[in-house]
Amino acid sequence: MATPSTLAALIDTLEPDAPQVERHLWLVRLLDWMRGDRSSVATTLERLQLLIERLESDAELRARAQAWWLALLDGVDGTTLLADHGFAQRPAFLSEFFNRLLHHVLPATPQTRDASELYTLLFPHAFDAAWLGRLDEETERRLAAALGLSATGSRPWRAALEESIACCVSQICAIGYAPELRLRMGDSSRQLQTFRQLLVDFETLRQALQRRPLDETALENAVASFKARLDACRQAAAGVYAHLD
């Protein structure tokens, strides 16, 4: 897959109505152009600044980029990235081992709705962590504005984020009820109540997020209660290690 040598060449091929695979491949090519030979984080960040400046100065290009971005987000399932990425998908060691081995050996495909697979395709190098970690708030703000997020107040990621947290909460509760942990937790009836209450606290948090007008105090209280319950669940699960001593 040849990477265009200039930003102008990339911009000429930006098509919001392109098939999903082409949208993903365009983003792969953009990131390859930004990385270059992966020898300089500063050069990558300078190229990102060039992209932002072009978006800011060209209204027609900005409109195309915003439509393309919304189409990209609408075409993938963000939950797989936010809730599942990096975690074992299979409880059996050998099954998980061979699954990860296949992913390592076989090339990733851009024809996917799985945001986790797409993320792996887009950021395959350790160098990516270096330049992403150097992004400052001003650059992030300008990029978000260029993609139309700040102007419209749109939060296309919010639903995916809420669903991802819901998936994680469900997994935590399922683990808490599993006999392998339940029978080894001290005062199991009280500990089970902790896991059960986590679902209630999350629903309270979700309602606080969706309330309009937003009640900042209620939201802060809901977040604090949810985090405290998560920590209680962690402590309850950690109690099983006493059986290994």
Give tens-digit pLDDT for 127-170: 999 999 999 999 999 999 999 876 545 566 778 888 889 988 99
Burial class (CB in 10 A: 0-12, 13-18, 19+), 93: exposed
According to the model, what pLDDT value does residue 3 have?
56
For residue 86 the two structure tokens come to 């990096």
Each residue's pLDDT tens digit, 13-65: 999 999 999 999 999 999 999 999 999 999 999 999 999 999 999 999 999 99
Confidence (pTM):
0.73
For the record, the structure tokens of 59 come out as: 């209204």
How confident is the model at residue 243, as a pLDDT?
A: 63
Quote the pLDDT of residue 95: 64
Backbone angles phi, psi at 77, to 5 degrees: -95, 105
Nearest to 104 by CA among 124, 80, 82: 124
Contacts of 89 (CB under 8 A, 6+ apart): 96, 99
Angle 161-167-172 from CA coordinates, rounded to 5°: 125
Structure tokens at 64: 């195309």
| pLDDT tens, residue by residue, 205-238 | 999 988 889 899 999 999 999 999 999 998 888 8
The span from the CA of 214 to the CA of 114, in Å, is 32
pLDDT at 180: 76
pLDDT for residue 61: 96
User: In this structure, how many other beta carbons lie within 10 angstroms of the beta carbon of residue 145?
Assistant: 15
Residue 54's contacts (CB-CB under 8 Å, 6 or more residues apart) are: 7, 11, 61
Task: Quick: pLDDT tens for 58-101.
Answer: 999 999 999 999 999 889 988 888 886 665 555 556 565 666 66
Q: Work out the angle at residue 160's Cα, subtended by the Cα atoms of residues 33 and 198, and round it to the nearest 5 degrees.
A: 135
Nearest-5° angle of CA 188, CA 191, CA 195?
Answer: 130
pLDDT at 24: 96
Cis peptide before 213 (omega within 30 of 0): yes
106 pLDDT above the threshold of 80? no
**149, two tokens:** 């997020």
**Nearest in space to 54 (alpha carbons), one of 106, 6, 124:** 6
